[in-house]
Chain A
Amino acid sequence: MSNTLPDTYDKPMPPLNRDSKPFWDSMQEHAMRLQRCADCGKVRHYPRPVCDSCYSMEADWVRASGNGRVHSWTISHHAFHPGFLGNLPLMLLTVDLDEGVRICAQARDIVPEKLSVGMPVLLDYEDATDKLTLPVFRPA
């Protein structure tokens, strides 16, 4: 797969972060894992050191089902970063995952007229570089 990727990647890269490394590693495996409190079981996103329910700093990582529903969206017609000039219009979804957290990601194969709050969508993966895989959502 990596040999089909462009030599130079011109979009923003996520800065390295020890708290979220397991998340990005799981994305590269095309198997998104979400951070979960090892003591009380509350799933949280974005990854961070402390559970705000029980204050435990112990966490494990659970595989996301990939099932979600559209919470909101925007369709951008202006590139706020030169790397996205070739991707306009850009359909961005805020999606409620079944696990109780949300993911913001681009939509694939969804026409604007079909968008609605609660629309079921399915998580998919796109390799942006050989070190970065981003989530996308397709119609369920």
Chain B
Amino acid sequence: MSLKDKCAVTGVGETAYSKNSGKSVVALQMEASLKAIADAGLKPTDIDGVIPYGNLDVVAEEFITNLGIQDLRFSATTPLGGASCVAAIQAAVSALVTGVANHVLIPIGRNGSSGERIGARAADLPQFRTIGEFEMPSGNIAPPQIYAHMARRHMEMYGTTSRQLAEIAVTVRSNAILNDNAVMQKPMTIEDHQNSRMISDPLRLFDCCLESDGGAAVVISTTERAKDLAHKPIYIMGVAEGHPDSPSAITQRPDITTLGTAKAAPRAFGMAGVTPKDIDVAEIYDCFTYIVMCQLEDLGFCKKGEGGDFVSNGRIALDGELPINTHGGLLSQSHIIGMNHVCELVKQLRGTGGKAQVANAEVGLVTGYGDMGDGAVAIMRN
């Protein structure tokens, strides 16, 4: 049974994104959820499925209590770090198509800036256990370091340069400036990127994403029910998750320049019945510039090793061949664990992308990327 077009995103909701929300994490998630439910034209009590983020402490019970859900029929978590939001779409679709639930809420939200820092939390995750035992004692501790080994290898094997990574940071920043709900509003040049502080060579400060406060949520419904709701449904054509070889230790991965995305992409494209050439707009999980480039390769937009050239010469700009991260991404809008990417893709396909609207966007793609290489891909259409 194919899941193609069986379900749709019916509602999206986002709080203000900031460096200091002044609100609790539960409040941020509820605010975003209420907005998404209202956007769909539903009542909170219509929600009968919820997929909370597995790495945070807001559990399904909180949604039952706060939203007055009388009969929650489906709950699950998708513990793929930053790939969780997109992987949760696959879980939601699976539950909806089989009739287990009718409207699944996928909420997320955190105080990643004003609350506990993201790096501090990563060390405690079970997915990082072997890193914690064998690499952290030697000083290989945080994502900018452990991913730098991947980026350096790519540079040495394929000639990729820091200036090519800068193209990604600069493009995404220029999109953020068009977005009123983006934290970073100052223009960035290639030289600004090259002059930014080296964090863990070859990754500079401007290769790294923000740490942010905020919440975002989506509602997924069956296509049949979606047709009666507030907006034109945004159909889920294809969705898949993929886990890399040696998922809990990059060092032991046969090819450290390949992510789980490479396994998810053929499944998602195959289900959707489209190819990378058909994608009008792509929201690519951008915890680091390098991870964007690597995913573009693993998704098949270009061959392995050609990502540096692919992202250059305006190809990924708003008026380019493949506009990416039209909202400003994790790099410049806000780090909402990629749910802001899902919300943005839906807005682009509805034609409500504001100043960053891609003309005639009909088919789009969103990715999640998490922990040390988990990937998830969703392809949607209007």
Contacts and interface: CB of A to CB of B under 8 A. Distances in A.
Interface of A: 11-15, 17, 20, 45-46, 71-78, 80-81, 84, 87, 90, 92, 94, 101-106, 112, 116-117, 128, 132, 134-135
Nearest to B129: A15
A104 B156 contact: no
A46 B131 CA distance: 9
B149 A78 contact: no
A50 B55 CA distance: 27
Nearest to B149: A72
Given A12-B132, A45-B252, A76 B138 contact: no
Nearest to A16: B133
Which of A103, A104, A134: most chain B CB closer than 10 A?
A104
Nearest to B132: A15
Contact of B201 (A46, A74, A132): A74
Chain B, interface size: which category?
Answer: 35 or more
Interface string B153-170: 100110000000000000
B125 interface: no
B140 interface: yes
Given A15-B132, A94-B251, A74 B137 contact: no
Contact of B138 (A15, A106, A116): A106
Contact of A75 (B123, B130, B135, B201): B201
B251 A116 contact: no
Contacts, number: 106
* Contact residues of B: prevailing secondary structure: helix
29 contacts: A11-B137, A11-B139, A12-B123, A12-B137, A13-B137, A14-B132, A14-B133, A46-B130, A46-B133, A46-B252, A72-B150, A72-B152, A72-B156, A76-B200, A77-B198, A77-B200, A78-B199, A80-B145, A81-B139, A94-B149, A94-B256, A102-B251, A104-B138, A104-B140, A104-B149, A117-B153, A117-B157, A132-B137, A134-B138
A59 to B, nearest CB: 16
A112 B201 CA distance: 11
B241 to A, nearest CB: 21
Interface in B93-147: 119, 123, 129-130, 132-142, 144-145
B256 A104 contact: no
Contacts of B135: 104
B143 to A, nearest CB: 9
B141 A81 contact: yes
A72 B134 CA distance: 17
B200 A104 contact: no
- Top 8 nearest A-B pairs (CB, nearest first) are A74-B148, A80-B142, A72-B153, A75-B201, A76-B200, A80-B141, A72-B149, A14-B133
B303 interface: no
Contact of B149 (A14, A74, A87, A106): A74
B249 interface: yes
Contacts of B130: 46
Contacts of A92: 138-140, 145, 149
B146 to A, nearest CB: 8
A77 B133 contact: no
